C-alpha cells in the first residue's frame, strides 16, 4: 500500500454562505452536534468578536510596521477560524503552546489590547521585558506559553507539559499549534512519538496554511498532508476545514475529550490558507498568484461565520460596523499609549538569565553603566533609565560631536 491510498477526507460543517451542511455529509469523524446551533449564542458572538479584533489588530499593526513605528509583524489573517475556534473549545486552564501566528487564541483568553501593544513596542510593561521581537507574546495567567522563535521546539515541550498535567491529575490538557512546515522538523516526530508512547493529554493542531514562508506545501511533503502521519504513531487524527469555525470547534472539543478522558494525544490538521504574507518582511507576490489568493479570499473564515451568525439572527450590519469602528479606535488609542511608555530598565539586561544574577553579570552591568555615564548621548534608553535628563544627553553629545564628525562625517547620532 502506498500513501496515496490513504487519503483523509475533510470534516466540514459550514458552507461559505453561512448554511450548515447536512449532518450525514459533514460527519467524517467525531460527533458533530445534531442541533440547529452547534455553538451556543454567547460563545459564538465572543468567537466572532475575537476574530474581528484579531483582523483589526493585524491591519493596524501591519500599517504601523509600514510606517516604521513597529519593527516587525505577523498576521493571522485567513486562519482566524482555526486559531480562535480551537481555543474556544478548550478550558481556560488548558495550556496553549503556539508557534507565532496564533494571537487570536491569546485574544480569546482575554489578553488585552494594551498587553499586545506593550509586547510589540517592548516597553517597560512588556512581560517579556523587551527581549523578543514583536508578536512573541506570553501570559502565565492565561496559560499561554511565551512564543519562542526557533520553529517546532514547542511541540515536544507540549508533550512534556501534558505529561506533567497527567501526573498532576487535574484533568487539564495542552494544545500545541504549528504550521505544516514545522511538521518537517525532527521535533514533530519526537513529540508525537513520545506523546503516543507515554499517553499524554496533548492536542497537536497543525495549521496547514499552504506555505512555509515561500515554500508551498507540495514542496514540503509528498504524502497526503499531515493528518495521516498520526496513524504511524497509533494516534487518532482528524482533518478539518480550517476556515470553518464550527468544524474546528467541534473537532477540538472531541479531541479534548479524548485527550483528557483517555490520556491519548490527538492530531488535528486544519486545512486553511495564509492569506497575508508570512511576516511583514515577506512579499508573497514573488511566489504565488493573485488569482490563487482571490480564491481563498472568497473562503474568508470571518465572512463565513458572519453569514452564519446573521442567518441565526444573532448579528447585523449595524453591529458589524459599530464593532469595527470601536475596535479600530481601541487599537489606535492603545498603540499610542504603548509607544509613549519607557523602555525596560537597564537592569533588565542581566535579570532572568539565572534566578539571580551571577557576580560576573553584576560586574558586566556595572561596566556598561560606567561606560554610559561617560557617553550617555550614545545610549539614550540606558541613560534615561539611569536618570540622565535630555539636557545632559545634549551636553554629552556636544562634547563628542566634533570627534564623531571627523570619524564618520557626522553620521553618529
Partner 1 sequence: MNMLQAINNALNIAMAANPRVVLFGEDVGVFGGVFRATSHLQDKYGRERCFNTPLTEQGIIGFANGLAAQGSTPVAEIQFADYIFPAFDQIVNEAAKFRYRSGDLFDVGGLTIRTPYGGGIAGGLYHSQSPEAYFAHTPGLKIVIPRNPHQAKGLLLAAIRDPNPVLFMEPKRLYRASVGEVPEADYELPLGVADVIREGRDITLLGWGAQMEVIEKAAALAEQDGIDCEIIDLRSILPWDIETVCDSVLKTGRLVVSHEAPLTGGFASEIAATVQERCFLYLEAPIRRVTGLDTPFPLVLEKEHLPDELKIYEAIKQSLNY
Report if residue 153 touches partner 1, rule: CB under 8 A: yes
Please identify which residue in 58, 80, 94, 126 interacts with partner 1, judged by CB under 8 A: 126
- Give bridge partners of residue 208 from the DSSP assignment: 271
Tell me the window of 18-26, 77-85, 138-146, 371-379 that interacts with partner 1 (CB under 8 A): 138-146
Tell me the window of 18-26, 193-201, 262-270, 306-314 that interacts with partner 1 (CB under 8 A): 193-201
Interface pattern 89-108 for partner 1 (x via CB under 8 A): ------x-x-----------
Minimum Å distance from CB 123 to partner 1? 12
Cβ proximity to partner 1: between 131 and 403 the closer is 131
Report if residue 118 touches partner 1, rule: CB under 8 A: no
The pair phi, psi for residue 17, each rounded to 5°, is -80, 0
Which residue has 461565520 as its cell numbers?
305
DSSP letters spanning 128-193: TTT-S-TT---BTTTTBPPP-SSTTTHHHHHHHHHHHHHHHTSS--EEEEEETTGGGSHHHHHHHH
Minimum Å distance from CB 148 to partner 1? 6
Please identify which residue in 159, 208, 279, 334 interacts with partner 1, judged by CB under 8 A: 159
Report if residue 138 touches partner 1, rule: CB under 8 A: yes
Please identify which residue in 16, 27, 29, 146 interacts with partner 1, judged by CB under 8 A: 146
Look up 287 and say whether it is catalytic.
yes
- Checking DSSP bridges between strand 236-241 and strand 215-216, what pairing results, if any? unpaired
Query: Rounded to an integer, what distance in angstroms lies between the CA atom of residue 385 and that of residue 390?
Result: 12
Helix and strand numbers (H, E) in the chain are: 15, 7
Report if residue 129 touches partner 1, rule: CB under 8 A: yes
Cα distances from 25 to residues 14, 29, 412, in angstroms, run 11, 11, 67
Look up 161 and say whether it is catalytic.
no
Report if residue 173 touches partner 1, rule: CB under 8 A: no
Say if CB 238 and CB 28 are below 8 A apart: yes
Report if residue 194 touches partner 1, rule: CB under 8 A: yes
- Give bridge partners of residue 236 from the DSSP assignment: 266
And the C-alpha cell for 56? Answer: 483589526
Tell me the window of 167-175, 216-224, 374-382, 405-413 that interacts with partner 1 (CB under 8 A): 167-175
Please identify which residue in 1, 36, 218, 360 interacts with partner 1, judged by CB under 8 A: 360
Minimum Å distance from CB 359 to partner 1? 7
And the C-alpha cell for 217? Answer: 506545501
Query: Rounded to an integer, what distance in angstroms lies between the CA atom of residue 98 and that of residue 149?
Result: 11
Local structure of residue 101 (DSSP, 8 states): S
Report if residue 170 touches partner 1, rule: CB under 8 A: no
Q: What value, to the nearest 5°, has the Cα angle with vertex 225 and ends 272 and 153?
A: 85
Report if residue 354 touches partner 1, rule: CB under 8 A: yes
Catalytic residue selected from 60, 256, 274, 306: 274
Query: Rounded to an integer, what distance in angstroms lies between the CA atom of residue 322 and that of residue 326?
Result: 6
Number of shown-chain residues binding partner 1 (CB under 8 A): 49
Tell me the window of 79-87, 104-112, 128-136, 288-296 that interacts with partner 1 (CB under 8 A): 128-136
Minimum Å distance from CB 288 to partner 1? 30
Closest of 1, 75, 52 to residue 305, by C-alpha: 52
Cβ proximity to partner 1: between 22 and 169 the closer is 169
Please identify which residue in 73, 161, 178, 296 interacts with partner 1, judged by CB under 8 A: 161
**Three-class SS of residue 8?**
coil
Please identify which residue in 190, 365, 378, 386 interacts with partner 1, judged by CB under 8 A: 190
Query: Rounded to an integer, what distance in angstroms lies between the CA atom of residue 105 and that of residue 270?
Result: 15
Closest of 52, 204, 46, 58 to residue 135, by C-alpha: 58
Tell me the window of 86-94, 160-168, 289-297, 317-325 that interacts with partner 1 (CB under 8 A): 160-168
Look up 278 and say whether it is catalytic.
yes
**Three-class SS of residue 356?**
coil
Query: Rounded to an integer, what distance in angstroms lies between the CA atom of residue 165 and that of residue 161?
Result: 6
Cβ proximity to partner 1: between 187 and 250 the closer is 187
Say if CB 86 and CB 113 are below 8 A apart: no
Report if residue 184 touches partner 1, rule: CB under 8 A: no
Catalytic residues: 274, 278, 287
Chain contacts with partner 1 (rule: CB under 8 A): 95, 97, 126-129, 131-132, 136, 138-140, 145-146, 148, 150, 153, 155-165, 167-168, 174, 186-187, 189-191, 193-194, 197-198, 348, 351-355, 358-360
Amino acid at each position: 500500500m502506498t500513501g496515496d491510498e490513504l487519503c483523509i477526507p475533510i470534516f466540514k460543517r459550514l458552507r461559505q454562505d453561512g448554511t450548515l451542511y447536512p449532518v450525514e455529509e459533514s460527519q467524517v469523524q467525531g460527533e458533530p452536534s445534531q442541533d440547529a446551533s452547534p455553538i451556543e449564542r454567547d460563545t459564538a458572538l465572543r468567537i466572532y468578536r475575537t476574530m474581528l479584533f484579531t483582523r483589526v489588530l493585524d491591519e493596524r499593526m501591519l500599517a504601523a510596521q509600514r510606517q516604521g513605528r513597529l519593527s516587525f509583524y505577523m498576521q493571522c489573517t485567513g486562519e482566524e477560524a482555526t486559531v480562535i475556534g480551537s481555543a474556544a473549545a478548550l478550558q481556560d486552564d488548558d495550556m496553549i503552546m503556539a508557534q507565532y501566528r496564533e494571537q487570536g487564541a491569546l485574544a480569546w483568553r482575554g489578553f488585552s489590547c494594551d498587553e499586545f501593544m506593550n509586547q510589540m513596542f517592548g516597553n517597560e510593561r512588556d512581560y517579556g521585558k523587551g527581549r523578543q521581537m514583536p508578536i512573541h507574546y506570553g501570559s502565565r495567567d492565561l496559560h499561554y506559553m511565551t512564543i519562542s522563535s526557533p520553529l517546532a521546539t514547542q511541540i515536544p515541550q507540549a508533550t512534556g507539559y501534558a505529561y506533567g498535567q497527567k501526573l498532576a491529575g487535574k484533568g487539564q490538557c495542552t494544545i500545541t499549534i504549528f504550521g505544516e512546515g514545522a511538521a518537517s522538523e525532527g521535533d514533530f516526530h519526537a513529540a508525537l512519538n513520545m506523546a503516543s508512547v507515554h499517553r499524554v493529554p496533548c492536542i497537536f493542531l497543525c495549521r496547514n496554511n499552504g506555505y512555509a514562508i515561500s515554500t508551498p506545501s507540495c514542496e514540503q511533503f509528498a504524502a497526503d498532508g499531515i493528518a495521516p502521519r498520526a496513524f504511524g504513531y497509533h494516534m487518532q487524527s482528524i482533518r478539518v476545514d480550517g476556515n470553518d469555525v464550527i468544524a474546528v470547534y467541534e473537532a477540538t472539543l472531541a479531541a479534548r475529550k479524548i485527550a483528557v478522558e483517555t490520556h491519548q494525544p490527538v492530531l488535528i490538521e486544519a486545512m486553511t490558507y495564509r492569506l497575508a504574507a508570512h511576516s511583514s518582511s515577506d512579499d508573497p507576490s514573488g511566489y504565488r498568484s493573485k488569482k490563487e489568493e482571490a480564491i481563498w479570499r472568497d473562503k474568508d473564515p470571518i465572512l463565513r461565520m458572519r453569514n452564519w451568525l446573521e442567518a441565526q439572527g444573532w448579528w447585523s450590519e449595524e453591529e458589524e460596523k459599530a464593532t469595527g469602528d470601536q475596535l479600530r479606535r481601541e487599537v489606535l488609542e492603545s498603540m499610542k499609549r504603548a509607544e509613549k511608555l519607557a523602555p525596560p530598565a537597564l537592569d533588565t539586561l542581566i535579570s532572568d538569565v539565572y534566578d539571580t544574577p551571577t557576580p560576573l553579570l553584576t560586574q558586566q552591568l556595572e561596566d556598561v553603566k560606567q561606560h554610559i555615564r561617560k557617553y550617555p548621548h550614545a545610549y539614550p534608553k540606558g541613560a534615561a533609565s539611569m536618570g540622565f535628563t535630555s539636557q545632559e544627553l545634549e551636553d554629552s553629545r556636544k562634547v563628542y560631536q566634533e570627534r564623531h564628525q571627523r570619524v564618520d562625517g557626522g553620521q553618529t547620532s
